[in-house]
C-alpha cells in the first residue's frame, strides 16, 4: 500500500463551541482544545478536524463567516490558534480546518460592499437576479427552508442562498472571487494547517436559474447540488491544495457511489468525501433505519472506492445529525453501551479513514429537549415554526424537532459529573445533558469494560492489523434483515466482522467462511470460537482473524 499518512489515521471531529471552555464564559474555545490534546493522544487520535473558528455572527454557528482570516473572539485569538497548531504537531496530531467557501456571512465585507449597488466591484462576488418584490426569480427551495432567493430592496434584485438568508452564496463563476478564495486558502496552508474539510462544496455550481424546481422528492436540491460542470471549479481548487500536499475531505451531499470515483481517487477532486447515503436512511417516522438498506449503502461505497480507485471517509456522527446510539443503536439503559460498541466495531473496521465525533467515544446520546427556547440551531427553529404554521400542535412540533435536531450532537462534552459536566464552570451556551452523571469521560476511563476503552482498542487494532488498514472489503451476508457481516482481506491476513445491528436475536449461516482457523480478535461480549452457523444476541458484535 502507498505510504499516505491518512490511510492509517483515525480522525476526531471537534465542535469547538461544545468541547471545552477554558475561560469561564460557557463557550468552548481554542485553549480548551489545547487542554484536551493529551486526552486525544491517549485515545489514539492522529488528526483533528475542527469546525469553523473564523469570525462569524453565528447565525449558523460559524458556518456564516464574516472574516476568513480572523478568529472569532469567543474562541480566542490567532496567537492561540498558532499555539494549538504547534502543540498538536508536537504531540503528532495533525489539524484539519473547516473551509466554508460555498457562501459567506451577510456581514462579510464582500457582501456589505456588494449590497451597496449594482456597480460595486464586489457585486458579482454573489449571485443576483432581477425579480419583482414577492415574485422570486424561481421556485427553488433552500436547504434550511423557504426560497433560495432573498429580496434586496435597495437594488430591487434578489440574491441566492443555499442555506439561511444570512448566508449568501458566492458566485463561483467569477474568476476574481475564485482567486481571492485561493489566496485565503494558501494563507491558511502556509501556516502549516494539515488539511481541510470542505463544507457544502457540492453546491458551488447552480443549474440554469430559469429551470423550475425539481419534482424529484429524493433530490429536492438537485438544481444546486452536484450540478453538471462543477468539476471544472473543483479541479481548479485542487490545484491550490496540491501545492501543499494536504488532506482534503469534501462534504459532498448529492454525490452517489457511482460518481464517487470522479470525486475521489486518482485524478479525483478530493482525497475523500463524506457521503450521506447511509446517514439519510435514518428516519424519525420509521423509528429507525432499514438495516438491509443501511448495510447496502455502506457496502456500495466500500465496493465503489476499493483501494486503488478511491478511499472512504467513515463516520456515523457529526455536528449535523442526532447521536448514533439514539438513532441507529438503542439508548435504553441495558443496550446503550452494547449497541455503541456494535456500531463502533461495525464502522471502524471498514475500509477508509474513520472520523469519531466528540462524545461518540463515551456513548453520548440525544438530549431530552423540552422547549423551543432550549434549541439553538437555525434550521431546527425554522422547522418548528413551519410545522406549527402547517397545523401541528406545538407539542407535536417540538417532539419531532427534538428527535431530529442537530443540537442533539451539540450539547457540551461530558468530561465528568460536576454541575456542567466538566465542560465549564458557568452555565453553557447549550444545555448539558442531564445524563452526565452516568455518561462522562472520567467514569469511562476508570472502567476497563467501557465504551471508551473499546474505542481505544479498536483504534489500536486498526494500526496493528494489516487487513484493517489495507484489506479488500467483501459483504458476506448482503440483504440480511439484522446482521452486517463482512471480511477484510490482504495476502497476509483476513478479518471477519459479525455485527447484529438489531435489538432482536438473529441467526446466520456462513458456509463460505467455514474451515478456516478463525481466532477471536475483539467483541462486545464473551466471544465464542467462530462457527459457520449460529445466533447473535441483540447488538452483539465480534471480529475474528486468520493469518
Question: Which member of 46, 251, 271, 361 is catalytic?
Answer: 251
What is the rounded distance in angstroms from the CA atom of residue 368 to the CA atom of residue 376? 14
Q: Find the helix or strand (DSSP H, E) in which 109 lies.
A: helix 109-114
- Select the residue interacting with ligand GLC from 21, 29, 60, 361 (CB under 6 A): 60
Name residues contacting ligand GLC, limited to 192-211 (CB under 6 A): 199-200
CB closer to Ca ion out of 80 and 450:
80
Q: What are phi and psi of 458, to 5 degrees?
A: -60, -40
- DSSP annotation of 25 reads S
- Select the residue interacting with ligand GLC from 47, 111, 128, 163 (CB under 6 A): 163
Does position 270 bind ligand GLC by CB under 6 A?
no
CB closer to Ca ion out of 21 and 494:
21
Q: How many residues does the chain have?
A: 547
Q: In degrees, to the nearest 5, what angle opens at C-alpha 167 toward C-alphas 161 and 172?
A: 65
Question: Which member of 150, 199, 465, 480 is catalytic?
Answer: 199
Residue burial 492-508, b: 16+ Cβ < 10 Å; e: rest:
ebbbbbbbbbbbeebeb
Whole-Å CA distances, 430 to 28, 186, 365, 407, 410: 11, 34, 15, 8, 8
Smallest gap, in angstroms, from Cβ of residue 176 to ligand GLC? 23
Q: Which option in Ca ion, ligand GLC, none does residue 199 bind, with CB closer than 5 to 8 A by kind?
A: ligand GLC
Q: Which of 40, 32, 106 is nearest to 75 (CA)?
A: 32
Instruction: State yes or no: is 425 an active-site residue.
Output: no
Q: Which option in ligand GLC, Ca ion, none does residue 163 bind, with CB closer than 5 to 8 A by kind?
A: ligand GLC
CB closer to ligand GLC out of 234 and 459:
234
By CB under 5 A, name the binding residues for Ca ion.
21, 23, 25, 27, 29
Smallest gap, in angstroms, from Cβ of residue 203 to ligand GLC? 9
End-to-end Cα spacing for the chain: 18
Q: Which option in ligand GLC, Ca ion, none does residue 46 bind, with CB closer than 5 to 8 A by kind?
A: none
Contact by Cβ (8 Å): 142, 169: no
CB closer to ligand GLC out of 68 and 163:
163
Strand order in the sheet with 195-198: 272-274, 247-251, 195-198, 94-99, 47-50, 11-14, 353-357, 313-314
CB closer to ligand GLC out of 203 and 223:
203
What is the rounded distance in angstroms from the CA atom of residue 331 to the CA atom of residue 328? 9
Q: Which option in Ca ion, ligand GLC, none does residue 60 bind, with CB closer than 5 to 8 A by kind?
A: ligand GLC
Q: Which option in ligand GLC, Ca ion, none does residue 100 bind, with CB closer than 5 to 8 A by kind?
A: ligand GLC
Contact by Cβ (8 Å): 398, 369: yes
Q: Annotate each residue in 291-320 with x if it binds ligand GLC (CB under 6 A) or - if it does not, as one string.
A: ----------------------------xx
Does position 63 bind ligand GLC by CB under 6 A?
yes
CB closer to Ca ion out of 404 and 411:
411
Smallest gap, in angstroms, from Cβ of residue 263 to ligand GLC? 16
Instruction: State yes or no: is 35 an active-site residue.
Output: no
Question: How do 157-160 and 128-130 pair as beta strands?
Answer: antiparallel
Catalytic residues: 199, 251
Site residues, ligand GLC (CB under 6 A): 60, 63, 100, 163, 199-200, 251, 319-320
Amino acid at each position: 500500500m502507498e505510504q499516505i499518512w491518512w490511510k492509517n489515521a483515525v480522525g476526531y471531529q471537534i465542535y469547538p463551541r461544545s468541547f471545552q471552555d477554558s475561560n469561564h464564559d460557557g463557550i468552548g474555545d481554542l485553549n480548551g482544545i489545547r487542554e484536551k490534546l493529551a486526552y486525544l493522544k491517549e485515545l489514539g487520535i492522529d488528526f483533528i478536524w475542527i469546525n469553523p473558528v473564523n469570525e462569524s455572527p453565528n447565525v449558523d454557528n460559524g458556518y456564516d463567516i464574516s472574516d476568513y482570516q480572523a478568529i472569532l473572539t469567543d474562541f480566542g485569538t490567532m496567537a492561540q490558534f498558532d499555539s494549538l497548531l504547534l502543540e498538536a504537531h508536537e504531540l503528532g496530531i495533525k489539524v484539519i480546518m473547516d473551509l466554508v467557501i460555498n457562501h459567506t456571512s451577510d456581514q462579510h465585507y464582500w457582501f456589505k460592499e456588494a449590497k451597496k449597488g449594482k456597480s460595486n466591484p464586489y457585486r458579482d462576488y454573489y449571485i443576483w437576479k432581477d425579480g419583482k418584490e414577492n415574485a422570486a426569480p424561481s421556485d427553488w427551495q433552500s436547504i434550511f427552508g423557504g426560497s433560495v432567493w432573498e429580496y434586496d430592496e435597495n437594488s430591487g434584485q434578489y440574491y441566492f442562498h443555499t442555506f439561511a438568508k444570512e448566508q449568501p452564496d458566492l458566485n463561483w463563476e467569477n474568476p476574481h472571487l475564485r482567486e481571492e478564495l485561493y489566496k485565503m486558502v494558501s494563507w491558511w496552508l502556509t501556516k502549516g494547517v494539515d488539511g481541510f474539510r470542505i463544507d457544502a462544496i457540492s453546491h458551488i455550481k447552480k443549474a440554469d436559474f430559469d429551470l423550475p424546481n425539481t419534482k424529484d422528492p429524493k433530490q429536492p436540491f438537485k438544481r444546486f447540488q452536484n450540478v453538471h460542470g462543477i468539476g471544472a471549479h473543483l479541479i481548479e481548487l485542487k490545484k491550490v491544495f496540491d501545492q501543499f500536499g494536504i488532506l482534503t475531505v469534501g462534504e459532498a451531499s448529492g454525490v452517489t457511489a457511482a460518481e464517487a470515483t470522479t470525486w475521489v481517487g486518482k485524478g479525483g477532486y478530493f482525497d475523500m468525501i463524506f457521503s450521506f447515503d447511509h446517514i439519510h436512511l435514518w428516519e424519525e417516522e420509521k423509528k429507525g433505519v432499514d438495516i438491509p438498506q443501511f448495510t447496502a449503502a455502506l457496502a456500495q461505497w466500500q465496493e465503489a472506492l476499493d483501494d486503488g480507485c478511491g478511499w472512504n471517509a467513515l463516520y456515523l456522527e457529526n455536528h449535523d445529525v442526532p447521536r448514533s446510539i439514539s438513532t441507529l443503536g438503542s439508548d435504553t439503559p441495558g443496550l446503550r453501551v452494547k449497541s455503541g460498541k456494535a456500531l463502533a466495531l461495525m464502522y471502524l473496521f471498514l475500509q477508509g479513514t474513520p472520523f469519531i465525533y466528540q462524545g461518540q467515544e463515551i456513548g453520548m446520546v440525544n438530549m431530552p429537549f423540552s422547549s423551543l427556547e432550549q434549541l439553538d440551531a437555525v434550521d431546527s427553529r425554522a422547522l418548528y415554526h413551519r410545522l406549527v404554521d402547517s397545523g401541528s400542535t406545538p407539542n407535536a412540533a417540538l417532539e419531532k424537532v427534538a428527535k431530529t435536531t442537530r443540537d442533539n450532537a451539540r450539547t457540551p462534552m461530558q468530561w465528568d459529573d460536576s454541575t456542567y459536566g466538566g465542560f465549564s464552570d458557568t452555565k453553557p451556551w447549550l444545555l448539558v445533558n442531564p445524563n452526565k452523571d452516568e455518561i462522562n469521560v472520567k467514569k469511562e476511563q476508570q472502567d476497563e469494560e467501557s465504551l471508551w476503552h473499546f474505542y481505544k482498542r479498536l483504534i489500536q487494532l486498526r494500526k496493528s492489523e494489516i487487513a484493517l488498514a489495507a484489506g479488500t472489503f467483501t459483504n458476506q451476508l448482503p440483504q440480511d434483515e439484522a446482521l452486517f457481516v463482512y471480511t477484510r482481506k490482504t495476502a497476509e491476513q483476513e478479518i471477519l466482522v459479525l455485527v447484529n445491528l438489531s435489538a432482536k436475536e438473529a441467526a446466520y449461516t456462513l458456509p463460505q467462511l467455514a474451515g478456516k482457523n478463525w481466532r477471536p480478535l475483539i467483541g462486545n461480549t464473551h466471544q465464542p470460537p467462530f462457527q459457520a452457523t449460529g445466533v447473535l444476541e441483540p447488538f452483539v458484535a465480534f471480529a475474528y482473524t486468520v493469518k
